[in-house]
Amino acid sequence: MKVTKEKIAIDWLLIVLGIFSAALGLKGFLLSSHFIDGGVTGISMLIGNITDTSIAIYIVLLNIPFLILGYKRLGAQFAFKSTVGIIGLSLCVAFVHFPDITPDKLLTAVFGGVFIGVGIGFAMRGGAVLDGTEIAALLLSRKAQLLKISDIVLILNIVIFSTAAYFLGIERAMYSILTYVSASKMIDLILNGIEQYTGITVISLKSEVIRKVITMQMGRGVTIYQGKSGYGKDGHINETRDIIFTVVTRLEVPALKEKIIKIDPAAFIIQHSIDDTTGGLLKRKALH
């Protein structure tokens, strides 16, 4: 129960911090310059700019359909946290005073996005969302197998920023795109961390030597599984060989590839990014 209570407390702390960070990005930077973000928040800001009204009410109203979808498909706990987060953001925008931090348009676009991205990232870490777009994209991607969540979000935001260009002007729309990019990068940073991991698969006739280099020199864990060759440069077919898989940080990738190629210039190296990892030997072992 102690761990559960601590986890609940941390989740709500992250959601509250996320609310205030996003509200600071909106009121401290974007609203005074008439820049917008993407998603439902961006639509709310666009309507607020066109009608010259507060965006607070639109943040709640436009998110209601997505919260209902989230409740039906993703569960009551997620929907409750997200409802509290969205209403909290709306109340912050309506009643909490934030100073207008800078008149500089570039700084406004970049740092407005930074604070919004940090806020959304914290809320997502706490198990909630501050924008219903992600819920809609997740559910639509399950229906349309050919589209990823990122594709659906991108399509929606193209429509939003195209509309912004028409009503607010090209310059403000371009600064708004910069805000969205900045926010997206910060969300990735909060969710995935600075040490982003990369999966490396190595197929080589010298797999045992490569395994020792990875484990003994670099202090990384490996997984070895057996495969059979098709038709490659060596001309061997159906020959059994060990395949090495390891996970390293992206900063270690060049050094690892250099070591592998030095051992076996003909090694087949497959590299792909990893969004998240749990368990396993991810931290470097102490080498003696």
> Per the structure block, which two tokens stand in for 248?
């390293």
Confidence of residue 2 (pLDDT cuts 50, 70, 90): very low
My answer on whether 64 and 129 are in the same domain is yes
My answer on whether 41 and 182 are in the same domain is yes
Per the CB < 8 A criterion, the answer to whether 112 and 25 are in contact is: yes
Q: In the predicted model, is pLDDT for residue 118 greater than 80?
A: yes
Q: Is residue 288, in this structure, part of any structural domain at all?
A: no
Residue 262 CA to chain centroid, in angstroms?
A: 35
Query: Which of 164, 192, 220 is a domain's end point?
Result: 192
Per the CB < 8 A criterion, the answer to whether 92 and 23 are in contact is: yes
| Number of folded domains that form the chain | 2
Q: Is residue 234, in this structure, part of any structural domain at all?
A: yes
Among 51, 25, 200, smallest CA distance to 110 is for 25
| Percent share of the chain, pLDDT over 70 | 84
My answer on whether 203 and 178 are in the same domain is no
My answer on whether 6 and 35 are in the same domain is yes
Query: Which of 162, 192, 222 is a domain's end point?
Result: 192
My answer on whether 56 and 153 are in the same domain is yes
My answer on whether 131 and 165 are in the same domain is yes
Residue the block writes with tokens 């395949």: 243
* Domain range enclosing 123: 2-192
∠ CA 259-272-181, nearest 5°, is 120
Q: CA dist 163 to 159, 167, 176, 207, Å?
A: 6, 6, 12, 55
Q: Is residue 280, in this structure, part of any structural domain at all?
A: no
CATH number, residue 238: 3.30.70.120
Query: Which of 192, 210, 226 is a domain's end point?
Result: 192
What is the reported pTM? Answer: 0.74
Confidence of residue 208 (pLDDT cuts 50, 70, 90): very high
